Structure 1
Amino acid sequence: MLNDPDIKPDADILKKALGRAHAAYETLAAAAGAAGLEMTWNYYKDGKAWLCKVVYKKKTVFWLSAWDGYIKTGFYFTEKTRAGVAGLDVDENIKTAFARAGAAGKLVPLSINVSRKAQVRDVMALAEYKKALK
Structure 2
Amino acid sequence: MKPILKDKEEFPTIENLANHLSQKNLALYQQLLEEIHACSFKEDWNYYNDGKTWLSKILFKKKNLGWISIWETGVKVTVYFGERVWPQLVANELFNKLEANDASIQKSGKLNAVLIPIQDETSLHVAIELVNLKKNIK
Q: Please classify the TM superposition score into its range, dividing by the shorter chain length.
A: 0.7 to 0.9
Gapped runs of 5+ residues in structure 1? none
C-alpha distance after superposition, 1:101-132 (max 9, x if no partner): 46311111111111222211100110110011
Which amino acid in 2 is paired with 1:2? L
Count of residues paired in the alignment: 132
CA separation in 2, counterparts of 1:35 and 1:97?
A: 22
110 and 42 in structure 1: CA distance in 2 versus 1, 3 angstrom threshold: same
Which amino acid in 1 is paired with 2:97? D
Q: Which of the pair has the greater relative contact order for Cα pairs under 8 Å at 6+ separation?
A: 1
- Aligned residue number for residue 127 of structure 2: 123
Q: 1:49 aligns with which of 45, 49, 53?
A: 53
Indicate conservation of the 8 Å contact 1:88/1:125, yes or no.
no
Q: 1:91 aligns with which of 73, 84, 97?
A: 97
Percent identity, aligned pairs only, is 29
C-alpha distance after superposition, 1:26-64 (max 9, x if no partner): 111000000011101111111111111111111111111
61 and 69 in structure 1: CA distance in 2 versus 1, 3 angstrom threshold: same
Question: Whose helix proportion is higher, 1 or 2?
Answer: 1
- Aligned residue number for residue 34 of structure 1: 38
Q: 2:14 aligns with which of 11, 26, 44?
A: 11
CA separation in 1, counterparts of 2:128 and 2:21?
A: 19
Alpha-carbon offset, residue 91 of structure 1: 1.5
Give the alignment's TM-score, normalised by structure 1.
Answer: 0.88
58 and 9 in structure 1: CA distance in 2 versus 1, 3 angstrom threshold: same
Which amino acid in 2 is paired with 1:84? Q
Give the stretch that moved more between structures: 12-21 or 81-90: 81-90
Question: Runs of at least 4 residues of structure 1 off by over 2 A?
Answer: 94-98
Q: CA RMSD in A?
A: 2.1
Alpha-carbon offset, residue 67 of structure 1: 1.4
CA separation in 1, counterparts of 2:66 and 2:56?
A: 9
Give the alignment's TM-score, normalised by structure 2.
Answer: 0.85
Gapped runs of 5+ residues in structure 2? none
CA separation in 2, counterparts of 1:88 and 1:25?
A: 25
